Structure 1
Amino acid sequence: MPHPPPRPIEIAARGSLRGRVAVPGDKSISHRALMLAGLAVGESRIEGLLEGEDVLATAAAMRAMGATVEGADDGTWRVWGVGIGGLLQPAQALDMGNSGTSTRLLAGLVASHPITATFTGDASLSKRPMARVIEPLSLMGADITASPGGRLPMMVRGLCPAVPIEYTLPVASAQVKSAILLAGLNTPGVTRVIEPVTTRDHSERMLAGFGAAVTVEASNRGRIVSITGEAELKPQHIVVPGDPSSAAFWAVAGSIVPGSEVTIANVGLNPTRAGLFEALRMMGADIAEVDPRSVGGEPVADLVVRHAPLRAIEAPPDLAPSMIDEYPVLFVAAAFATGRTVARGAHELRVKESDRIAAMAAALGACGVAVEEFEDGLAITGTGGEPIPGGATIASLLDHRIAMAMAVAGLHARAPITIDDATPVATSYPGFFATLDGLTECA
């Protein structure tokens, strides 16, 4: 998928942010909803699906493998699945665009079906390592040929019946866990994943909701997730909560810009995803949960965020798995805190859409923030609430979260910050800049 021409955007301080926003549907849940609905027998309905480029890549791939996937003007998606074991050979390569989640999880689905699929992606995705899923899926019997370095393009030849395995995750990764569990759906017997460090559990929750035989237990080796294969998935009506990773940008923006008060509606607060809000509260952020409720088995609430002075913390490394995608905007919050914030334990940031540790160190440093880089994170000396100098052009490196995090930083900078390319934001939050304009117009 060729990347569109760069679209630079300049972000300048524009006063307080005030108003109510609804963030896009949770990206992780949206991917999984499409995949499992595509394997169920019958019609599933999905409301609130994130219609960003990453999720649309998953939708296109499921269509290519036989599922009927239709969106409607009212935002409701309908999926008619092919049943477990019913995936068809795609006629051409599956273009994953920028989506690592689509690639790794769909590789798991293909691995236990008697089909072959080739996965391709854009320049950013083609640099990301796939060895972490290649290893366990190969143990299950899939024949996988990747490009040098375990990267895309990658061909997966599934085996049916595949071989059930017990696999201990060498790195905390919900994508690897999910790929194995999805492969286990069409594998006779019991497939087990042991995670020494708990990762986001959307796959387990949704698999159980669709009727798969999933068990979760604690052990001295870690959390053990088991799935019994060859079950029949039942169609579901899914309501996707708002993405906490998207809400994170407004939580930080409301916290750092004086006079701000922002309500973020319908935010998913799964404890395996809410680490950023916990870290912000440790820093002194004023974040209230209003109308807590459960939607489709996921905890949800509205968040009311008011400006508050932030103080430096040492972010607990055990929070890392629950806020791994939010580190870039946490680094931005630290830039406005009083004192020196240390946020480590995030090795995974090196192999995201970009090397997010190096990218954020460069971006904040160019804007006049004192930054020290470690292999697994950053130490940032904040301004004590004063604006950062700004005035730099930031390389987003085709990474949506770098672009959005530095846009938030520009809201409290002395000189405007230019993002070299805003187009990657469409992968997860197509309406981000329009929402930003709305919050400042309401102030």
Structure 2
Amino acid sequence: MAPRPLQSVKTGPLSGTVRVPGDKSISHRAIMFGAIAVGETTIHGLLTGEDVLHTAAAMRALGADITRSDDGIWRVRGVGIGGLVEADQVLDMGNSGTAARLMMGLVASHPITTFFTGDASLAKRPMARVTTPLEQMGASFVSRTGGRLPLAVIGTENPVPITYRLPVASAQVKSAILLAGLNTPGVTTVIEAEPTRDHSELMLTHFGATVKTERIEGGALAVSITGEPEITGRPVHVPADPSSAAFLTVAALIRPGSDITLTDVGMNPRRTGLYDTLIEMGADITFLNRRVEAGEPVADLRVRYSALTAVAVPPDRAPSMIDEYPILAIAAACAEGTTTMHGLAELRVKESDRLAMVANGLDACGVGVEAGPDSLTVHGAGVPPGGATVATAMDHRIAMSFLVLGMASAEPVAVDDSGFIDTSFPGFVDLMNGLGARISLPNTQSAARPTA
């Protein structure tokens, strides 16, 4: 696919009321859990980005009946716990590590063989962190060196429950083990030193599974699931994605005079680290109409321009905002003072080495920055110089983050490829431009200088 460069230039105030697409993490899970439930699950507000469409196609190949009505409601008729069938083809997970890892857990406790692949970016991401505990449950795997895709899962006919302590905080690994535990007799337990996203626990409970979370010695959390339940189809209302809302939030905060409202945003406390940090930096964010939908807290966010100041972001906040550090770095670049962030090692094994990509992009745009093995320091100066074309390495969050930077920098900022934005945020450019942004094809008469 040919690269699709885009350029962003300084804008006036942003204004308007919009709803960003549905939460990607919850959308993946709604499709998967509906596919293994008995009866019909109706899903409202599902994200229709490429990642989630890959998940839907894969679950169809494994036996579920999944359709989308003209009114935008998705209907999933599930096969029940233990009812997945062997797919006739390789399952293409596209760009989604969430889909790949969770689905590996689902099929690991079924006596079927399943082949997984993905795009060039996903094929670089480590899967051993998932295969290691699933092997302890009885599954076996054949993969490329380093546990990378393409990969085959040889599921087990006699899965055994385990108690597994996560070596690194990861909601994806936790969820994969819990999903394998659904079709495993007995109780499967995951112990996490730091709380990670609990979308799986909340939604599995919503579908009727027995999930227990308790604090144990040393302050860790033990999350347990009782195997072989009968879960039944449920209605699911997918909230707007807080990770997607983050780009609009920061854009409004750094453009003088801006005042926007983002509706129906998921406010799960294990996902709100960015918003906590922005408020510490002086952000004017008001949470309106707080409510709970299908077990998930939701609110409308009013965001107004704010003069941000630097903060130190503690490492224990990383699990609640791991996907938002690139856009936080943009906010830090537009703040006054030096912002430090620690505990970022996980960013090096995302869709790209996000830590390096953010540092390289900020440096190219004239922002003072230092990156360590698991840290990032950004020297903000109010208005960044800009004037660069930033390499994205096929990473949607890098592309969107630097397009936001271009809205506030002295000179335009371009990205070398925007094609991967649709994996998580379809319609991003149109939505931003509708609020007052100016994102378009690069202007050859004022071309930004390329990064090295």
TM-score, reference length from structure 1: 0.98
Who is 2:73 aligned against? 76
Report if aligned partners of 2:115, 2:152 keep a CA contact under 8 Å in 1: yes
Cα distance in 1, alignment partners of residues 233 and 432 from structure 2? 37
- 2: CA distance between counterparts of 1:211 and 1:411? 46
Residue segments in structure 2 that go unaligned for 5+ positions in a row: 439-452
**Letter in structure 1 aligned against 2:342:** R
Rounded Cα–Cα distance in structure 1 between residues aligned with 2:362 and 2:421: 19
Deviations 1:383-411 (A, max 9, x none): 1x3x2111101111100000000011000
Match of 1:143 in 2: 140
1:7 maps to: 4
Asked whether 1:321 is paired with 2:325, we answer no
Q: Indicate which of 249, 256, 259 corresponds to 1:258.
A: 256
Q: Indicate the residue corresponding to 1:331 in structure 2.
A: 329
User: Following the alignment from structure 1 to structure 2, what is the Cα–Cα distance between the partners of residues 44 and 295?
Assistant: 15
Cα distance between partner residues in 2 of 1:295 and 1:192: 27
What displacement does 1:73 show? 2.6
Counterpart CA distance in 1 for 2:56 and 2:338 is 43
- Encode CA deviations 1:346-401: one digit per residue, 9 max, x unaligned: 11100000000000000011000000111112100001x3x211110111110000
Alpha-carbon distance, 1:317 to partner: 1.3
Tell me what 1:437 maps to: 433
Give the corresponding residue for 1:30.
27
Kept in 1, the 8 Å contact 2:407–2:437? The answer is no
Percent identity, aligned pairs only? Answer: 59
Would the aligned equivalents of 2:246 and 2:327 in 1 still touch at CA under 8 Å?
yes
Bigger drift between 172-181 and 407-416 goes to 407-416
TM-score (norm 2): 0.96
* Within-5 A mapping of 1:304-319: 304-319=302-317
1:260 maps to amino acid: S
1:262 shift after superposition? 1.0
Match for 1:17: what amino acid? L
Aligned counterparts of 2:334 and 2:410: Cα–Cα separation in 1: 13
In structure 2, the CA distance between the partners of 1:399 and 1:268, relative to structure 1 (3 Å rule), is same
| Distance in 1 separating the partners of 2:295 and 2:160 | 31
* Partner of residue 427, structure 1: 423
Aligned to 1:303: 301
CA apart distance, 1:441:
7.1
1:237 to 221, 235, 238: 235
1:388 alignment partner, SS class:
coil
CA drift of 1:414 comes to 1.2
Asked whether the 8 Å contact 1:161–1:186 carries over to 2, the reply is no
Distance 2:377 2:437 in 1: 34
Offset of 1:21 from its aligned partner? 1.3
Q: Deviations over 1:284-334 (max 9, x none)?
A: 000000111111111100000000100000012111100000000000000
Distance (Å, rounded) in 1 between the aligned partners of 2:11 and 2:203? 41
Q: What is the aligned partner in structure 2 of residue 219 from structure 1?
A: 216
Q: 1:348 aligns with which of 328, 334, 346?
A: 346
Equivalence for 1:402: 398
- Whole-Å Cα distance in 2 between the matches of residues 60 and 233 of structure 1? 22
Alignment partners' CA distance in 2, 1:14 and 1:213: 50
Q: Tell me the equivalent position of 1:391.
A: 387
Indicate the residue corresponding to 1:181 in structure 2: 178
Query: Is residue 11–residue 437 contact of structure 2 (8 Å, CA) maintained in 1?
Result: no
2:93 to 93, 96, 99: 96
- Deviation, 1:187, is 0.2
- Structure 1: 4+ residue segments shifted above 4 A: none
